[in-house]
Amino acid sequence: MMVCYHNGIVMTSCERDRLMVGKELKRLSRRELVDIIYQLKKNEQEKLEQIAALEEELRDRRIRISVAGSIAEAAIDITNVFSAAQSAADRYLHEIERMKEDTEAQCARKIEETDRKVAEILQNSEKKYDELEARCERGRRKWEQLRAEIQKLEEEKMRLEREMRYGKKN
DSSP-derived letter for residue 8 is: T
Contact call for residues 3 and 11 (beta carbons, < 8 A): yes
* Non-local CB neighbours of 3 within 8 Å, separated by 6+ positions: 10, 11, 12, 13
8-state DSSP, 28: S
Mean pLDDT of 126-131: 94
The pLDDT confidence band at residue 3, using thresholds 50, 70 and 90, is very low
Q: What percent of the chain is modeled with pLDDT above 90?
A: 45
Terminal Cα distance for the chain, rounded: 184
pTM here? Answer: 0.37
Strand, coil or helix: 156:
helix
Per-residue pLDDT tens digits for 35-53: 888 888 888 899 999 999 9
